[in-house]
Every structure is written in C-alpha cells, then in structure tokens.
Structure 1
C-alpha cells in the first residue's frame, strides 16, 4: 500500500497542475490567456512538489535495499522525470505553455508505470564510481532527448495549425516557431554531447568489466545509430541549414533509436519474454 501511495501521489499532483493550467489558461478569455505568464507561481510550486514526490518514489523503486534495480518501468519513469525537471527550469526563461498539454500527462503515466511494470533487473557493479558516472550522464542524455522529442512533436502540431490558419488557444502562448526551433537545437546539442560522453564512458566501462572495448549487442547498435542520426542532424543544420519537417523527422528517428537501445530492450526482456535479467 505504501508503494502504491508513493506513486499515486505525484500522479495526482501532475493531474492537479494540468487542471490548474487548463482552468486558468484554457477556460479563460483569449486575451488573458495570451498575457499570462508561462507558468504562474502557484503552478510552478505545485509542479516542483510533484517532481519531489515523483523523485522520492523513484528513489524507493530504484533502491529498495542495498541493491540497485532498474527495470523497464523505472527507466522510463526516470527519463520522463528528468525531462520534466529540465522543462521546469526552462520555463523560468522561455514561455512553453503548449508543452503543458504533453508534459503533465507524461508525468502522470511516468509516475504510474513502475507500479504496473516494477521490474526485477538488478544492476551489476552499481557501487562502482565509473558506472555511477556513466549512469548519471546517460540518464541526463536520455532525458534531454525525451524533452527534445516532446518539443519536436509540439512544433509539428503548431506548424500544421499555422499552415491551416487554425491556431488553438492551447498553443497561442508559444514563442515563434523560429525561437522554438532554436531551443530544440540547443537541447539536441547539449544532449548530443552527453550521449557522446555516455558512449565513450560505456566503452571504457565495458573494457574494465569484460576485457574488451566494445560489446556488439542491440543496446550498443541502437545507441550508435541514435548518435549517428543526431550527429547527422547537427551537421546538416550547420552546413545546409536543415530545419522544419526534415529536422523534426531526424529528431524523432534519433529518439526512437535511443529508446530502443535500453528502454525497448528492457521492455522486450521483461514484458515480452518475461525475464528479470
């Protein structure tokens, strides 16, 4: 019961923040909706409390005792949690009202996923400082790419509505598409550096554990495919000015490959094959 409540509490808080936003922005008149702040003080505090509660639930799920468990559900929840943390910080500087409609439901689902898919996968060598550094950098990279993917989907919706001359009130508070595009590439650039460090540290860590610099498995293959896709996107942006739909497609393709690298593999092992290891 305690575990259930730990996950239900942040999910309820995410739902409450979403409701606050809906009532203050969506159901108000259009003039107020376009003049309000990106996130009111009440919403910002409520979201921070939700993040703290979500973080506590994740800590209990990852460290149930002396070991470190990191199954499919927990991995997905942690990535979304970190992405929302970055989103919370980003709202201090940029108006991103439209992302509320994606972020809050994602927070609700991420809070509840570990309840449905708790997972029994125990991470070996969790006490190693090298592994911990690799793990932290990898999770930061995953979370930033998650936020970039959510951002890219929001841009795709906004671009379509703008093209059809039907801009909904939900997206009326967004900055111009060029500003959003600049933010997207800033997120991808930082995440790409972190992913590069993740792969480099993974190679070093693999050599320490297994006596070889590279283990060619599905996780390694999909991680490098994602790295190539995002690297190609950044090169294309710099040399040929890639933007718009082309950039969004490369972003989503790279994100899908990255998800298949760990989260997808854990899903297949734990859910499809019903194995803990």
Structure 2
C-alpha cells in the first residue's frame, strides 16, 4: 500500500511543478494533497513492530517531505514560485526512493524514549537546512537573473521574476539557517549523549560525527560572520551550500555508500 502512495505522491509533486504560476490557489491545494499522501506513505513505511526504519532513502524522503511543508507555509506569506520549481521535482524523486531502497529496521526496544526524540530532531535539522539550501540556490539564480532581465524569461525565469526582493529573500534564508542551526546543535549534543549510552564513548569519531561537526562549524561561522562582519550575498550562499553538502554527507551520503555501494546494513 505504501508503495502505491509513494508513487502517487511523486506524480502529484511532478504535476505541481508543471502547473502555471497564475494558478496559485490550485498550486497550494495540489501541494497540500501531495504532502498528505507522501506523509501517509512515510508513516506506514517508517513504523514497525518495536522499531523504526532507517536508511538514506527514507531519510531523504522525510527531509523533502518536511521541506515541502516549509515551502507551503512560506508561500502563503511570500510569492516563492521559483522555490516550487526546485523543491517539487526533488520531492518527486525522493518520494520514489523508499520502495527501491528500503533500508533496515532500527530496534527501539530497550532504548531510552529520548533516543527517538534524537532521531526526530535530526530529521528536522536536515529538513530545515535542506530547504535553506534550496533557498540559497534560488537566490543565486535570482541574482543571475537580474543581469539578464532583458532576456526571454522562460519556465524558471518567469517564476524568478515574481520572487520578493533579494534582501527579503536573504532575511528568510537566515531565519531558516538559525532554526536549522539550533536543531543541528541539539542533534549533535543529543548524539553525544546517546553515543555514550550505546557505545560507551562520549563521541565516536566516525564519518557521520566528523561531517556533522564540520557542518555545525560552517553554519556557526556563517552566523558569527553575519553578526560581526555583515556577511551576505555570495559569501553567505557559499557557506550555506557548503554546510548543507557536508551535512548531507554526514548521514544521507554515508548511508547511500553503505547500502547501495557496499550493500551493508546498519552502521
């Protein structure tokens, strides 16, 4: 059943990406429908008897699901149609991955209830910084569009022309980064606590821990630079994308290598 729901959500996301900009109310309704179908599929697929399903596909799919929710909420206050052109195709792609790469079950029996909250906060952190990365890409495209204003707009250009001013977009970006940074900080701290419970060490310096800490440092440097040196524009975009790429490697990328390339389970 969940496989049908995943593929249905992907089709609705794809249809939403192709809808003309003028159908704003229709876009909002279709986005909500796709999000609900996708959420139902995730709920059915992630839960299991005494455990929760983990893996790069389910993680990426959940992150895009929450990113769609963030887009839908932001789009009610600001015209972010260009963001739809980026998020919806990625959400459609992510929705079809869990049936193809099911991952493995992580048994929760005997684990502290707070361990489940660690997983939830981690997914929220990934999701918030995912939508921030989309936002940064959109700002880069918007800035590039300013230099080619006289050119024929095309499919994406017309949507970019309707975005709020770059300063407004930048405020939205840093709001997302602050939220994501707080969630990422909680993820790293709770990871240290549960690493000690699970492995007898305060922190295992494996690839996931190293990339997560590097990502935290990059986002911290960006926020400090923003406050003290007024960093903005291309500098802010580079730090955002670098921090997101490192964070993606921390879990989604490493799990992809383990599951798809090395054919290994939980690690």
In the superposition, the TM-score normalised over structure 1's length comes to 0.89
Residue 204 (structure 1) aligned with residue 193 (structure 2):
yes
How far is the alpha carbon of 1:67 from its aligned partner?
Answer: 2.6
The 1-side partners of 2:233 and 2:58 are apart by 33
Residue 183 (structure 1) aligned with residue 172 (structure 2):
yes
Q: How many residues align?
A: 260
Aligned to 1:47: 31
Question: Which of these residues, 57, 80, 98, is aligned with residue 82 of structure 2?
Answer: 98
1:21-72 CA distances to partner (integer Å, 9 max, x unpaired)? Answer: x2xx2xxxxxxx5xx7xx31x3222211111110111122212444311111
The 2-side partners of 1:107 and 1:250 are apart by 24
The 1-side partners of 2:2 and 2:224 are apart by 46
Aligned to 1:250: 239
3-state SS of paired residue (1:69):
strand
Residue 133 (structure 1) aligned with residue 121 (structure 2):
no
The 2-side partners of 1:240 and 1:15 are apart by 41
CA contact (8 A) 2:51 2:108 kept: no
How far is the alpha carbon of 1:16 from its aligned partner?
Answer: 2.4
Q: Which runs of 5+ in 2 are unaligned?
A: none
Residue 236 (structure 1) aligned with residue 220 (structure 2):
no
CA contact (8 A) 2:3 2:41 kept: no
1:203-250 CA distances to partner (integer Å, 9 max, x unpaired)? Answer: 111122222211111100000000000000011111111111111111
Pairing of 1:1-20 with structure 2 (within 5 A)? 2-20=1-19
How far is the alpha carbon of 1:90 from its aligned partner?
Answer: 1.3
Question: Which of these residues, 144, 150, 159, is aligned with residue 170 of structure 1?
Answer: 159
Q: Which runs of 5+ in 1 are unaligned?
A: 26-32
Superposed CA RMSD in Å reads: 1.6
The 2-side partners of 1:80 and 1:66 are apart by 25
The 2-side partners of 1:3 and 1:55 are apart by 10
